Structure 1
Amino acid sequence: MAITLPHIEDANRTAYLPPKGEYEKFIDESHYAEKVREWGLSTTKEVKKEFWYKERDHQRIVTIKGYETYGQSGEFNTIIVEFQDGNLSCIHPAYLKEMQASSFGKVTFSDVNEPSPAPVKKNEQPSTAKHKKDKKETEPKKEKQTKIELPEEKVHFTATVKQFSLSWNHFNEENDEVVVLENVVIEQGNPIEIGLAWCAHSKTLKKFELAPGEKLEFDGKIVKKKLPNGKDVEEKFIVGDPVLYKVNNPSKLKKS
Structure 2
Amino acid sequence: MANTLPHVEDAASTTYLPPKGEYETFADEAHYEEKVREWGLSVKKEYWYKERTHQRIVTIKGYEVYGKTKEHNTIVLEFEDGNLTCIHPAYLKEMQSPSFAKAAISDTEVVIDKKKENTSKGNVEKPASPESKTAVKKEQPMKQGKKEKAPKIELPTDKVHFTATVKQFALTWNHFNEDNDEVVVLENVVIQQEEPIQIGLAWCSHSKTLKKLELEPGNALEFDAKIVKKKLAKGKDVDEEFIIEDPVHYKINNPSKLKKS
TM-score, with structure 2 as normaliser: 0.65
2:39, 2:177 within 8 Å by CA — same for their partners in 1?
A: yes
Q: Which runs of 5+ in 2 are unaligned?
A: 124-135
Aligned length: 228
After superposition, what is the alpha-carbon deviation per residue over 1:170-201, rounded to whole angstroms, capped at 9, x for unaligned?
22212223221122124466655433221234
User: One-letter code of the match for 2:35?
Assistant: K
SS of the residue 2:155 aligns to? coil
Q: Which residue of 2 aligns with 1:157?
A: 162
Q: CA RMSD in A?
A: 4.2
Cα 1:28–1:3, aligned 2, differ >3 Å: closer, same or farther? closer
Q: Which shifted more, 215-224 or 70-79?
A: 70-79
Equivalent in the alignment of 1:41: 41
In the superposition, relative to structure 1, how do residues 188 and 136 fare at CA in structure 2: closer, same or farther (>3 Å)? same
Structure 1 residues 74 and 219, CA, compared in 2 at 3 Å: closer, same or farther? closer
Counterpart Cα distance in 1 of 2:158 and 2:3: 50
Query: Which runs of structure 2 are paired with 1:56-75 in the superposition (5 Å)?
Result: 56-69=52-65, 75=71
Looking at structure 2, the residues matched to 134 and 87 of structure 1 have their Cα atoms a distance apart, in angstroms, of 51
- Deviations along 1:11-53, whole A, 9 cap, x unmatched? 221122334555443343322221112223334xxxx232221
What displacement does 1:85 show? 3.7
Cα contact 1:6–1:59 (8 A) shared by 2:
yes
The 1:33–1:133 alpha-carbon spacing in structure 2 relative to 1, beyond 3 Å, is farther
Structure 1 residue aligned with 2:181: 176
- Superposed CA deviations along residues 127-175 of structure 1, whole A, max 9, x for unmatched, are xxx9999979947x33xx2x332443xx653212334432111222122
State percent identity of aligned pairs: 56
Letter in 2 for 1:238: I
Q: Does 1:148 align with 2:148?
A: no
Matched residue, 1:82: 78
Residues 137/2 of structure 1: CA separation in 2 closer, same or farther (3 Å cut): closer
Superposition TM-score, scaled by structure 1 size: 0.66
Structure 1: give runs of 5+ residues left out of the alignment.
Answer: none
CA change 1:251–1:210 in 2 (3 A) is: farther
Amino acid at match of 1:161: V
